[in-house]
Chain A
Amino acid sequence: MSYISKPKISHPRLPKNELGLTARDYEGGMSTLCAGCGHDSITGAIVQAVFELSIPPHGLAKLSGIGCSSKTPAYFASESHGFNSVHGRMPSVATGANAVNGQLKYIGVSGDGDTLSIGVGQFIHAVRRNVNMLYIIENNGVYGLTKGQFSASADIGSKAKKGEENLQPPIDACLSALTLGGTFIARSFSGDRDQLVPILKAGLIHNGFALVDIISPCVTFNDHEGSTKSYEFTRQHYHPVIHADFVPPSEEIKAKYEEGEAMPVKLHDGTQIVLRKVGKGYDPTDRGAIFHYLDEHQKAGEIVTGLLYVDEAPPDLHAVNNLSSTPLASLSNDQLCPGNAALQKLQARFR
């Protein structure tokens, strides 16, 4: 993960957020990924999302595993703490970090290999625990750093660069999360920033585990003819079903929505997202129906995208464990240590 500092050039008229910061203030080091990599577009969308939400840089923690995707936290939010962990184990680190300080925003960036192969166990349990974090999979169906092996998200029949055909069925992160009780499930495309930025913002505010599986083509190893994760294939088979309009608490819903076609969802801080139906016959509230919809449409070769499912009600890790509202990491010794008198008293039963 090479690190090259990025020169900071800010135009004086760049828009500023509530903290007086510009989007530039949320950038990181220069990307060392291949030119045209989908991941860099996602990095740009993350910068846009945290900028628009006016998250103080030190109020954000970014975590990742290993792989091309997991390098990207170095490329955004240079004033935020980062944790580039070991392969497939970012969810556990995020779980521990989140448990002791619920006041930070957590972004986990992972890849399809990192999440769906080596890290599938930890991914599943992080969904199940509803750890309050934005979990991004930069999904390109291929191992980049080791030069082009199929990943567990590769579709049956998709071809590798040298022509080899994938014969095993893919693990679908969104379908998996649906069955695991996931509370925020989205799929998007690195090339659709209009769709992606509101989803990322909603995911950051969502009170629980927000999964965003983003098709992010690998220009070097998986962007050829016969690949089902190429730019061209994704654009051709792109099937948005739900668009999420993001409405901060201070703003009113201005856009007009046709009844029955739009559904406002209130997030826990008062923000509203309005889910606008784009695809026909899609019901974003019915877990079982969504499962079938995704399954059928994907079998037909479509890439169903949008904020597919959201439920703010289930308790997150903190609520399940009834954790102190003061971060555990901030509690003082006086609050934690019972002292000698208590020690002498409790030893009575050991005498």
Chain B
Amino acid sequence: MSAKPTVNEFMVRLANVNGTGSASANALLMKALFRMGLPVSGKNYFPSNIQGLPTWYEIRASGSGRLGRTRRVDIMVAMNAETYRKDLADTASGGYLIYDSTWPRNTLLSRDDITILGVPLSKMCNENFPTARARILMKNVAYVGVIAALLDLELDVIKRLLNETFRDKVSLLDANQLAIDLGYNYARDNFTCPLPFTAKRLDKTTNHIVMDGNTASALGCLYAGATFGAWYPITPSTSIMDAFKRFCEQYRKDPASGESNYCIVQAEDELAAIGMVLGASWNGARAFTPTSGPGISLMSEFLGYGYFAEIPAVLFDVQRVGPSTGMPTRTQQGDIMSCAYASHGDTRHVLLFPANPEECFYQAVQAFDLAERLQTPVIVLSDLDIGMNDWMTAELKWDDSYQPDRGKVLDADQLKKLESFHRYLDTDGDGIAHRTLPGTHPKGAYFTRGSGHNMFGKYTESASEYLQVVDRLRRKWETAKTYVPGPVVDYSEKNRIGILSLGSCDGAIQEARSGLAAKGESFNYLRVRAFPFNDDVQKFLDAHDRIYVVEQNRDAQLKSLLLLEMDVESKKLSSILHYNGLPMVAENVVDGLQQDIAKGRAA
């Protein structure tokens, strides 16, 4: 058994049953590590179910800032008898497994290379808490106390967190404090504390927060001035609207009248949700809908309408595993192609690819600016890993001088001066025509339609008039390249091989690169943040002999999009794909690179 001490580099996996209240205990543990200045990430693996099925939560602490998913479980808290066998098997050699020893465990299930620590959690809680519910809940808090002793966490930090959480609920505060003490004292009395894995105070979380991407997206909608949200509940996007509602209740109630400066409509389906968003945007409000892959499929007809009739809209596609219903509570990047060209006919959409909650916040704001500037739907493609997991992310900042980019909208004075207004006339040569809002002025009236129309907004079946409009839309697409956020590039002339990726692959790639760099293998890296791809992406493609496209889907959708839209030879691009529904780990990238390099393909 390894006893080599490891400070500030470990992963704790907590195996629970869903519906037993473990989430708040797990969050408490993670927050305690964060408050000790230790970079952390929390990932939740949950079933599409309300109560009674297995759920796992992983907390990775990394003083060196490696916060992607890792497969190495150093400490397993095995609270679910049903998954005990698997949890035992999943614990890393040299690791520790904590279980509830109130009931005897199956002695056949054993391992010599890990340390098994039994704590009578149920017994202690049954003896100390009066109600059945409290006994179940406090078991979770008690194991946090056990871990606190084993990892040498600062007890003060935990107590302060409890004080903050239960400021107004003294009885709950007392119960939680007691549960922590029960676990903590039991561990101190019965085990050698601390373990070789310990947490020591660092200063690496200053100016950071722990937030999930959906909350950050909702906050972005609030700050961007979105006033209308329509949605149909769908995992894993639901918490965007939940958070938006909470924020609006706090910040969007008129203090004098109590009236709401926002409107949220729970639509009958996704077809209606996007219809409402288009109606609201057409009428001049900033409007959005959060959804996931199946919702995008349903919204496709209206997305084509928004593209062709040129109506702003913001969509958040928090991607889950497809195809079809797929695995609603697992993560993937499988909607890239379907979003890029959603709807029939020649249709294309502006996409944004946030990689973390910080980018969710800023890109949400950007999405509204882009949608109104370009008069088109913009889809923010996040995923379940970003959207629903807890990420340490830089503190969000707001520039108070920000003014929303409402795009080319003519007001009543401008309309009065015009001889006549024509909706789809490209007066500026950038492919973006001027629009008007209903109610502004009689001169601004036009007829919005998804049927063939000419540059004056009138119905047409004329070949040449149709071409004028769709060719202008293509020019507008070129203009879009100058507005969308460019890629994040880490480039050195010394390196001849590049990695190109997007979104939540970032953590795994960063960790893989630093690991490989330590062995003298360096790779350049470009992370696209938007579609259409701009010139910087082309330059990166041109500058390398071989590029690995890393993404989380089976069919290499990002690579396909690059081949379709950019000037690049297909044999230059190699795929590293991960699509089993779990977030990517650094080994996926390292293995992919090394297998290919071993095959002698890399130059």
> Which residues of A line the B interface, CB within 8 A?
1-3, 56-59, 61, 63, 73-74, 78-86, 89, 91-101, 103-104, 121-122, 124-125, 129, 321-325, 328-331, 333, 335-340, 342-344, 346-347, 350-351
Contacts and interface: CB of A to CB of B under 8 A. Distances in A.
B442 A101 contact: no
Given A89-B275, A95-B265, A323-B263, A58 B441 contact: yes
Most chain A CB neighbours (cut-off 10 Å) among B227, B301, B400, B448: B227
Given A92-B279, A337-B402, 8 more contacts: A58-B439, A58-B441, A92-B271, A101-B283, A124-B268, A330-B284, A337-B223, A351-B208
Contacts of A104: 283, 438-439
A86 B451 CA distance: 9
B449 A84 contact: yes
A328 B278 contact: no
B450 interface: yes
Given A122-B272, A329-B283, A96 B277 contact: yes
Nearest to B398: A340
B433 to A, nearest CB: 15
A324 B228 contact: no
B505 interface: no
Given A2-B459, A81-B438, A328-B228, A86 B259 contact: no
Contacts of B265: 95-96, 99, 129, 321
A96 B279 contact: yes
A343 B445 CA distance: 39
A86 B400 contact: no
B202 to A, nearest CB: 15
A56 B442 contact: yes
19 contacts: A74-B447, A84-B450, A85-B275, A89-B272, A91-B272, A92-B274, A96-B228, A97-B280, A100-B280, A101-B439, A122-B268, A125-B272, A321-B264, A325-B257, A329-B284, A330-B284, A333-B225, A337-B223, A351-B208
A198 to B, nearest CB: 26
B102 interface: no
A48 to B, nearest CB: 19
A82 B442 contact: no
B272 A321 contact: no
A95 B398 contact: no
A323 B397 CA distance: 29
A93 B276 contact: yes
The 9 closest A-B pairs by CB, nearest first: A92-B275, A96-B279, A96-B276, A329-B284, A93-B279, A96-B280, A100-B285, A81-B438, A97-B279
Nearest to B456: A3
A346 B219 CA distance: 10
Given A335-B261, A350-B209, A93 B278 contact: yes
A321 B263 contact: yes
Contacts of A74: 447, 459
A340 B271 CA distance: 35
Given A104-B439, A343-B397, A97 B283 contact: yes
Given A81-B445, A336-B252, A343 B398 contact: yes
Nearest to B461: A2
A81 B446 contact: yes
Nearest to A128: B268
Nearest to A32: B459
B227 A328 contact: yes
Contacts of A321: 260, 263-265
Contacts of B268: 121-122, 124-125
Contacts of B444: 58, 81
Contact of A86 (B277, B302, B461): B302
A58 B440 CA distance: 7
B442 A58 contact: yes
Nearest to B311: A83
B260 A323 contact: yes
B234 interface: no
B287 interface: yes
B112 interface: no
Given A81-B446, A337-B225, A99 B459 contact: no
Given A121-B268, A351-B210, A83 B448 contact: yes
A343 B396 contact: yes
Which interface class (under 10, 10 to 19, 20 to 34, 35 or more) fits B? Answer: 35 or more
Interface of B: 34-35, 208-211, 219, 222-225, 227-228, 230, 250-252, 254, 257-265, 267-269, 271-285, 287, 301-302, 305, 395-400, 402-404, 436-451, 458-459, 461
Contact of A103 (B258, B285, B395, B439): B439
B290 to A, nearest CB: 15
Contacts of A335: 261
A124 B272 CA distance: 12
B15 to A, nearest CB: 26
Given A80-B445, A86-B305, A336-B252, A331 B279 contact: no
B230 A96 contact: yes
Given A85-B450, A97-B438, A323-B263, A329 B278 contact: no
Q: Which of A2, A73, A74, A99 has the most CB of B within 10 A?
A: A99
Contacts of B302: 86, 89
Given A1-B451, A81-B446, A324 B260 contact: yes
Nearest to B436: A81
Given A96-B228, A336-B225, A328 B261 contact: yes
B447 A73 contact: yes
B451 A328 contact: no
Nearest to A331: B261
B261 A324 contact: yes
Contact of A57 (B210, B211, B283, B445): B445
Nearest to A103: B439
B157 to A, nearest CB: 12
A119 B439 CA distance: 27
Given A95-B265, A100-B263, A351-B209, A121 B458 contact: no
A80 B263 CA distance: 25
A180 B105 CA distance: 58
Given A122-B275, A350-B210, A322 B258 contact: yes
Contacts of A85: 275, 278, 305, 450
Contacts of B450: 84-86
Contact of A343 (B223, B224, B254, B459): B223
Contacts of B439: 58-59, 61, 81, 101, 103-104
Contact of A92 (B267, B395, B459): B267
Contact of B282 (A3, A83, A86, A124): A83
- With most chain B CB atoms within 10 A of its CB, the pick from A2, A3, A331, A336 is A336
A5 B105 CA distance: 84
